[in-house]
Structure 1
Amino acid sequence: MIVAFSVTPMGVGESVAEPVAEAVRVVRESGLPNRTDAMFTSVEGEWDEVMDVVRRAVEAAGQGASRVSLTLKADIREGMVDGLSHKVDAVEEHLRGS
């Protein structure tokens, strides 16, 4: 599965870069394939391991926050390997063909 998620701690001031960085650190240290962009972090793996990483990332971002907002989107697809790259490669292939 691939999960794209965004976590936003609330009540910590205008900038959330530092607590969000702690969430991303948890994802990167998990060893699971992942990508971070301006809006979401995506992580790929088996259900239990991915959801555990998301839970720990939310906890990390929420340290010192009075509240945490989590947006999560999941693509659950049996047999898909390297979906993070495959999905982007498929779109790029179509763009090159245009």
Structure 2
Amino acid sequence: MLVAFSIAPSGGDNRDASVHDAVAAAVEVVRRSGLPHRTDSMFTTLEGEWDEVFAVVKEATEAVGEFGSRVALVLKADIRPGYSGEIDGKLERLEDAVDSRSQD
């Protein structure tokens, strides 16, 4: 399964409303998990089995909770039993499709 998620605190003391420290705490949890992952400017994507992925999301959410009185979690999952390596595989298939379109 792939899970893309974004976690943000609110109600904290940061005057400029920046959440980079909270996001860093969440990314640290993700990296420590050892699961395949990718972080971009909007989401972190994890790949793994249901229980291990959601355990990481829970721990990351708790880490972000230290930075405010509330936490917002946005999550999208691609559940495809029997497949692995999709964190890279989906992108490779997309790039192949883009390349083949430009050759037409």
Residue in structure 2 matched with residue 26 of structure 1 by the alignment: 29
SS in 2 for 1:58: helix
> 2: distance between equivalents of 1:40 and 1:64?
18
Measured on the aligned residues, the alpha-carbon RMSD in Å equals 0.7
Identity %: 53
TM-score normalised by L of structure 1: 0.97
Instruction: Specify which of 16, 19, 23 is matched with residue 16 of structure 1.
Output: 19
- Structure 1 gaps, min length 5: none
Compare 29-38 and 11-20 and name the one that shifted more.
11-20
Report the counterpart of residue 43 of structure 1 in structure 2: 46
Q: Distance in 2 between matches of 1:37 and 1:64?
A: 21
Deviations 1:27-69 (A, max 9, x none): 0110000000000000000000000000000000110410000
Map of 2:84 onto structure 1:
81
Post-superposition offset of 1:81: 1.1
- Residue of structure 2 in register with 1:96 after alignment: 99
Which of structures 1 and 2 has the bigger CA Rg? 2
Unaligned runs of 5+ in 2: none
Aligned residues: 98
